[in-house]
Chain A
Amino acid sequence: MDDLDALEAQSIFILREAFNKFEPLGLLWSLGKDSCVMIWLAKKAFLGRMPFPAIHLDTGLEFPEAYAFRDRYSKEWDLDLIADDCPPLEEVDPSLPPDSRLAARKSLGLQQAIDRYGYKALITGIRRDEQATRAKERVFSPRGVDNSWDFREQPPEFWDQYNTDFPPGTHVRVHPLLHWTEVDIWRYIERENIPMVPLYYAKNGERYRSLGEMGITLPIKSNATTIAQIITELDETKDPERAGRTMDHESEDSFERLRTTGYL
């Protein structure tokens, strides 16, 4: 068993716990590399068929390549796809900086999906190494009634005994990739040959390292056209993964504010 096998086994264990304990359950599919890896792992966990829906919070602002990818692989992967439109910008907290407001539409879309379909728990592809506030997450992370995250009062979680019983009204985020790193993700994509949105691979000297909406996601300079080249590039870079996500950097606490109010 090598280290990727160990990561895979741990994620499958988490996905199976979630499926056993929460109903209805959904998986948030951003179309990005992490959530695609997560769907792959779910297909492994449940022997080829993901037994809960893949939810795409659609802002209408994804790249055309991302939409094409969604349409193709929701069929090829036999997904039960839910892709409702997020509420319009006018409904977002006007005190947020402009790009964060765009991103906050997803938080509203998420709340809308929870209200509409009654999900007890949602599986998301966040990782501890992505961003400092995400480093503090639990694998099974409870949210309050208003979907808020109280990072100061988190339940203990050890020996793979995840908290799965919560008071009524609690909504739970499940994080099967929390212990993976960006390089782990790419090594696994390479090993498993998992299809990805082509924007991750360099074209005309640029590629997207982290994929969000058009207008608030910037490409990085790169000549990496293969996964091996991407991994070499990541090994050498000291730039953070989400440097191209403009809303993280608008103000010192913008990403933290997004997260405590329900953003992924």
Chain B
Amino acid sequence: MGTEIKATDIKIKERAFPIVIVGHIDHGKSTLIGRMLHDTGSLPNGKVEELQSSCDRRSAPFEWSFVLDSLQLERDQAITVDSTQIWFHTETRRYVIIDAPGHREFLRNMVTGAANANAGVIVIDAEQGVSEQTRRHAYLLHLIGIPQVIVAINKMDLVDYSEDRFKEVEAEMTAYLKEIGLDAQAMIPVSAANGENLSRKSYKMPWYTGLTVTDALDAFPRVAAPVERPFRMPVQDIYRYDGRRLIAGRVESGQLEVGSDLTVWPTGRTAKVLSFESWATPKEKATISAGESVALTLSDELFVERGHILTLPTAGPRTANTLSVRLFWLSKTPLQRGESLTLKLATAEYDVVVESIDTVIDVDDLSRGRGHEVIQNGVAEITLRCRSNITYDLFYDLPALGRAVLIDGYQVVGGCIIEGGADVETASRNLTAVPQSVSSDERQVANGYPGAVLWMSGLSGAGKSTLAMALQRELFNRNIYVYTLDGDNVRNGLNRDLGFSEEERDENIRRVAEVAKLFADAGMIVISAFIAPTNAARAQAREIIGDRFHEVHISADMNVCESRDVKGLYAKARRGEIEDFTGISSPWEPPENPDLEVNTGELSLDDSLGKMVRYIEQRVLQAKDKAISSNH
């Protein structure tokens, strides 16, 4: 049956081409859409009759715009409340129209609809001419990244189909579009109410020889996924299945093959791509590319979390703590300098402060002025500052990582495109930037050994605390500066705001790692005794602490640990009285390549201790020789 034509092969069944129709409230957008649906035969049976009889009941004249205004409330108010999506088709393809309401206060709805469009139609009333709203909509189309537009100069019937009037409006609009950098593919004189130049050529305007609206739409190319651009994949989530970590996200640009090196931003760490994972796909994937939602595994347990960006080692993104953005503001409350907001860029969220409002743009006459605030529906160039580094691209390079929304509390209050970035010294950076007056090497020479972190992990009951205390005593007796960080002394103080959810456990470990690093920087040997159940958590600790990190796996079989149950915790967990108990009701991933493994199920306490002391003698205490010799 190889010759059977499947429905999926039929060209007209391709995904609908999304277009947005914008313009001043009374310039006839809905009429244009309603009439175009009718003229292309795209209306369901009975729709026009249904509306006509509804109008008769209300003793109101029928209008084409009623086709769209299917909500009763809208008919009562005679305005389109929200972005509406309507499907229609020409002979070449299907379309989905986003009817963007012109009413000023509904601009957020227009942005909502328009941002998904591949092309825009700007409708202008030939009699009224170009209005402030027309210009605002055109400006926003450009700002949200709509690459192609046509202009329909409507209600030509009201100006007696006058070529002169058309030319006037055309000239005015062309001049405005040129100034904002938008190039209209066509300017078409139409009468939507009468169907002139919509889907058939008008005999009333023989002076016009260009395309009809539907022909002009059919001429728009589809916006292709940016496969040829540098690879970018914002991390959406991490899933753990069968002991494997799958990194999930959508490829925003470029392509990637199995075996490629990948760099994680902002950490800058690199690993190889092991596999692309999927379910119910015919064959295993060797390549992924822009537009695909994927899941992948890496060769190393790097610290990766939501918000990180994966790229190839070359052609990476930019990073900066200060961004210059062009903003459109949607909130009723004006934006002011110094305000704190959340910047959502791809899957990352950053706390930012409005450093300055640099230029307020009047989209009507395009004049640029200084201003101390941005009002609702206003456009401005502002500077945002973040305490950490933001990973981004410039909007004109790679839109997906070059645009962001701004959130105030629970509300999306604006959108912005990134036009530049800079690394500006901030107070918090200066703190870390001050060079220590005593270097690590000097401390090492003075102490006779380098600072180090012995990161012990293992199940509850494996003997971490017992061993840690014995080891601490042993080292202290040898005049070594040593300190033990354990769950109790950290959880009761520094981390008393944290609970035991997966996120809070990760944060607990992150803070412990930062503290351990400071102690080790100060020259101490730090013993940390935490469960740290996942490879990811330990990978993050290793990343924070760096070369001084020594991973020690205190291993003992689950049943050994449970039979010890010194604190009675296993019994409680088995009774369901403790949620998220590692090994029973929450996962335990044993370390894969620890620097040292101590099996307390097989070794006595003395032997276990001896094994750890020998390791420290060889790997930490004797390391001084190297450091000292390199100093001379």
- Could you tell me which A residues sit within 8 Å of B by CB distance? 1, 3-10, 12-13, 16-17, 19-20, 40, 43-49, 128-129, 132-133, 135-136, 138, 151-152, 154-159, 161, 163, 165-167, 179, 181, 183-184, 186-187, 190-192, 227-228, 231-232, 235, 238-240, 252-253, 256
Main secondary structure of the interface of A (DSSP, over half): helix
Nearest-CB distance from A150 to chain B (Å)? Answer: 11
Q: Are A151 and B82 in contact (CB under 8 A)?
A: yes
A46 to B240, CA, bound (A): 10
**18 A/B residue pairs, CB under 8 Å, sorted by A:** A1-B225, A6-B225, A9-B250, A9-B292, A16-B236, A47-B278, A48-B280, A154-B112, A155-B411, A156-B108, A156-B412, A158-B405, A165-B410, A166-B410, A181-B87, A228-B4, A235-B13, A238-B43
Q: Confirm or deny: B45 has a beta carbon within 8 angstroms of a beta carbon on chain A.
A: yes
Determine the chain A residues whose CB is within 8 A of the CB of B237 once the complex forms.
16, 19-20
A133 to B241, CA, bound (A): 40
Q: Are A44 and B403 in contact (CB under 8 A)?
A: no
Q: Are A43 and B15 in contact (CB under 8 A)?
A: no
Indicate whether A3 sits within 8 Å of B277 (C-beta atoms), given known contacts A16-B248, A20-B237: no
- Could you tell me which B residues sit within 8 Å of A by CB distance? 4-8, 10, 12-16, 43-45, 54, 70-73, 81-87, 108-109, 111-112, 114-116, 144, 225, 236-237, 239, 241, 246, 248, 250, 277-280, 289-293, 295, 306, 330, 344, 403-405, 407, 409-412, 415
Nearest-neighbor residue (CB-CB) of A20 within chain B: B237
Q: Are A152 and B82 in contact (CB under 8 A)?
A: yes
Contact of B144 among A20, A138, A158 (CB under 8 A): A158
Q: Are B7 and A190 in contact (CB under 8 A)?
A: yes
Determine the chain A residues whose CB is within 8 A of the CB of B412 once the complex forms.
155-157, 161, 163
A155 to B413, CA, bound (A): 9
Indicate whether A187 sits within 8 Å of B13 (C-beta atoms), given known contacts A44-B279, A128-B85, A159-B415: yes
Indicate whether A187 sits within 8 Å of B8 (C-beta atoms), given known contacts A9-B292, A138-B112: yes
Q: Are B84 and A136 in contact (CB under 8 A)?
A: yes
Q: Are A190 and B6 in contact (CB under 8 A)?
A: yes
Nearest-CB distance from B297 to chain A (Å)? Answer: 11
Nearest-neighbor residue (CB-CB) of B144 within chain A: A158
A191 to B278, CA, bound (A): 16
Nearest-CB distance from A91 to chain B (Å)? Answer: 26
Determine the chain B residues whose CB is within 8 A of the CB of A136 once the complex forms.
71, 81-84
A4 to B16, CA, bound (A): 11
Q: Are A161 and B344 in contact (CB under 8 A)?
A: yes
A158 to B113, CA, bound (A): 7
Indicate whether A252 sits within 8 Å of B54 (C-beta atoms), given known contacts A158-B111, A187-B7, A187-B13: yes
Main secondary structure of the interface of B (DSSP, over half): mixed
Indicate whether A156 sits within 8 Å of B12 (C-beta atoms), given known contacts A5-B292, A48-B279, A167-B410: no
Q: Are B81 and A152 in contact (CB under 8 A)?
A: yes
A140 to B470, CA, bound (A): 55
Determine the chain B residues whose CB is within 8 A of the CB of A240 once the complex forms.
44
Nearest-CB distance from A86 to chain B (Å)? Answer: 27
Determine the chain A residues whose CB is within 8 A of the CB of B10 once the complex forms.
235
A75 to B6, CA, bound (A): 31
Q: Are B82 and A43 in contact (CB under 8 A)?
A: no
Contact of A135 among B14, B84, B112, B306 (CB under 8 A): B84
Q: Are A5 and B291 in contact (CB under 8 A)?
A: yes
Nearest-CB distance from A179 to chain B (Å)? Answer: 8
A228 to B415, CA, bound (A): 43
Nearest-CB distance from A134 to chain B (Å)? Answer: 9
Q: Are B111 and A256 in contact (CB under 8 A)?
A: no
Q: Are B250 and A13 in contact (CB under 8 A)?
A: yes
Q: Are A45 and B293 in contact (CB under 8 A)?
A: yes
Extra 8 A-B pairs, beta carbons < 8 Å, given A20-B306, A45-B293, A133-B70: A6-B225, A132-B71, A157-B412, A161-B344, A163-B412, A165-B407, A227-B7, A235-B10
Nearest-neighbor residue (CB-CB) of B110 within chain A: A156
Nearest-neighbor residue (CB-CB) of A163 within chain B: B412
A181 to B43, CA, bound (A): 15
Q: Are A43 and B85 in contact (CB under 8 A)?
A: no
Nearest-CB distance from A164 to chain B (Å)? Answer: 9
Contact of B7 among A152, A158, A186, A239 (CB under 8 A): A186
Determine the chain A residues whose CB is within 8 A of the CB of B6 once the complex forms.
190, 228
Indicate whether A184 sits within 8 Å of B330 (C-beta atoms), given known contacts A152-B82, A240-B44: no
Nearest-CB distance from A23 to chain B (Å)? Answer: 10
Determine the chain A residues whose CB is within 8 A of the CB of B280 once the complex forms.
40, 43-44, 48, 192
The 4 closest A-B pairs by CB, nearest first: A3-B15, A132-B70, A158-B115, A231-B7
Determine the chain B residues whose CB is within 8 A of the CB of A43 once the complex forms.
279-280
Nearest-neighbor residue (CB-CB) of A40 within chain B: B280
Contact of B292 among A1, A20, A184 (CB under 8 A): A1
Q: Are B241 and A158 in contact (CB under 8 A)?
A: no
Nearest-neighbor residue (CB-CB) of A187 within chain B: B8
Most buried by A among B7, B111, B250: B7
Most buried by A among B85, B290, B291, B306: B85
Nearest-CB distance from A138 to chain B (Å)? Answer: 7
A190 to B45, CA, bound (A): 27
Determine the chain A residues whose CB is within 8 A of the CB of B4 once the complex forms.
228
Determine the chain A residues whose CB is within 8 A of the CB of B8 once the complex forms.
4, 187, 190-191
Determine the chain B residues whose CB is within 8 A of the CB of A239 once the complex forms.
44-45
Determine the chain B residues whose CB is within 8 A of the CB of A256 once the complex forms.
71-72
Most buried by A among B8, B16, B241: B8
Nearest-CB distance from A228 to chain B (Å)? Answer: 5
A191 to B225, CA, bound (A): 22
Nearest-CB distance from B234 to chain A (Å)? Answer: 10
A45 to B292, CA, bound (A): 11
Determine the chain A residues whose CB is within 8 A of the CB of B116 once the complex forms.
158, 179
A122 to B246, CA, bound (A): 25
Nearest-neighbor residue (CB-CB) of B292 within chain A: A9
Q: Are A135 and B85 in contact (CB under 8 A)?
A: yes
Determine the chain B residues whose CB is within 8 A of the CB of A7 once the complex forms.
15
Nearest-neighbor residue (CB-CB) of A161 within chain B: B405
Q: Are A238 and B45 in contact (CB under 8 A)?
A: yes
A154 to B81, CA, bound (A): 10
A156 to B10, CA, bound (A): 35
Determine the chain B residues whose CB is within 8 A of the CB of A16 once the complex forms.
236-237, 248, 293
Determine the chain B residues whose CB is within 8 A of the CB of A48 once the complex forms.
279-280
Indicate whether A13 sits within 8 Å of B279 (C-beta atoms), given known contacts A135-B84, A181-B16, A184-B15: no
A121 to B5, CA, bound (A): 41
Nearest-CB distance from B330 to chain A (Å)? Answer: 6
A48 to B383, CA, bound (A): 44
Q: Are A159 and B71 in contact (CB under 8 A)?
A: no
Determine the chain B residues whose CB is within 8 A of the CB of A5 once the complex forms.
291-292
Determine the chain B residues whose CB is within 8 A of the CB of A235 once the complex forms.
10, 12-13
A179 to B85, CA, bound (A): 9
